[in-house]
Amino acid sequence: MLAVSRIARGRVAALDLPAARAHPGVVEVMVTANRPALALHPDDKSVPFSFKLDLLQDDRVRYAGQPIAVVIAATLEAATEAAALLAPRYEAGPVEVTLDAPGGYVPESVGVGDPGEMRHGDVEAGLRAAARRIEATYETPLQFHNAMEPHGVVAAWEGDALSLDMPTQGTALTRMRRPRCSASGRKTSTSAAPSSAAASGRSCCPGRRCWASWRRGSSGAR
């Protein structure tokens, strides 16, 4: 169970870990102090669509709803109750909630390497000469839920190998991205079960699940 931030910017000043860990059914509470190390730097962009992997790397809060702890318990109910017992205290910082907020910048590149800014023609002159002009401001959230790819992963240890089952269109990118998440050196098998195969423009096995598996030290897929 993820315990998430209720502020949009700042740092986690304290968590009541003894209370959460003492709750019946709790196995462990993972926080910055005891989280596993990443294999690569959080800012590393190993694939074109990579985002920064915070993953409890420090106590900073960068957005509302950011995971600040992971509660591992025997049941979902126990994990949910223990997460509430963490009672986080924050040191909140100023937030920027509009596109014109101070600190805005143009990135060097966006997406898969497109320029951060593109211009064509004289927009202002075209607007002045237009017979009709409509002005509106549209803002979209950085994160959004897409039902085609639910935000869920099933993880299971199979001997010394970790098997991950996740819905994704980017099976190859998932296999490339997984090794940076762990520096443990243990064998890993990442399985992407793309129920959205049709959406990615590929047909596979009608009526059957398609798998793309990767194991460290090999390039095999099935």
Domain residue extents for the chain: 2-92, 154-215
Residue 220 has pLDDT above 50, yes or no: no
| pLDDT average, residue stretch 168-192 | 64
pLDDT at residue 49, rounded to an integer: 66
Block residue for tokens 């962009």: 45
Q: What is the mean pLDDT of residues 118-124?
A: 86
Lowest mean pLDDT among 14-23, 33-42, 123-132, 181-190: 181-190
Residue 195: the pLDDT is 44
Out of 15-24, 32-41, 92-101, 197-206, least confident range: 197-206
User: Which position has the higher pLDDT, 21 or 181?
Assistant: 21
Q: Each residue of 5-52: pLDDT tens digit? A: 999 999 999 999 999 999 999 999 999 999 988 777 777 766 666 667
Q: Which segment of 93-97, 137-141, 151-155 scores lowest on mean pLDDT?
A: 151-155
Residue 219 has pLDDT above 60, yes or no: no
pLDDT above 70: percentage of residues in the chain: 71
Q: Which fold has domain 2-92?
A: Aldehyde Oxidoreductase; domain 3 (3.90.1170)
